[in-house]
Structure 1
Amino acid sequence: MDWYVKVLKQYFDFSGRARRKEFWMFGLVSMIISIVLTLLDMGVGLYNDLYGAGLFSSIYSLAIMIPSIAVSARRLHDTDHSAWWLLLMFIPLLGVLILLVVMCFNSKEDNEYGPNPKAEPSLGDNDNLAV
Structure 2
Amino acid sequence: MTNPPLNPDDPNGQQPPSPYDQYAGAQDPYSQNPYPQDPYQQGPYQQNPYGAAGPAGGRPRPSVTFQQAIELFFKNYAVFNGRASRSEYWWVALFTFLVNAVLNGLARSIGDSGSMALTVVSSLWSLAILVPSLAICWRRLHDTGRPGGWFFIVLIPIVGWIILIVFLAGPSRQDAWQRFDNGTLPVES
TM range, smaller chain? 0.7 to 0.9
Q: Say what the alpha-carbon RMSD is for the aligned residues.
A: 2.1
- Larger deviation, residues 105-114 vs 74-83: 105-114
**Bigger Rg, which one:** 2
Using CA pairs under 8 Å that are at least 6 residues apart, name the structure with larger relative contact order, 1 or 2: 1
Q: Which runs of 5+ in 2 are unaligned?
A: 1-66, 182-187
Out of 81, 84, 92, which is 2:157 matched to?
A: 92
Kindly state the Cα deviation for residue 46 of structure 1 after the two structures are TM-superposed.
Answer: 4.0
Higher normalized helix content (fraction of residues): 1
Kindly state the Cα deviation for residue 47 of structure 1 after the two structures are TM-superposed.
Answer: 3.2
Kindly state the Cα deviation for residue 89 of structure 1 after the two structures are TM-superposed.
Answer: 1.0
- Paired with 2:85 and 2:158, the residues of 1 have a C-alpha distance of 24
The answer on whether the counterparts of 2:145 and 2:175 sit within 8 Å (CA) in structure 1 is no
Mapping of 1:10-89 within 5 angstroms?
10-42=76-108, 43=110, 45-47=113-115, 54-89=119-154
Match of 1:113 in 2: 180
Q: TM-score with structure 2 length normalisation?
A: 0.55
Q: Percent identity?
A: 33
Kindly state the Cα deviation for residue 39 of structure 1 after the two structures are TM-superposed.
Answer: 2.4
Q: Secondary structure of 1:14's match?
A: coil
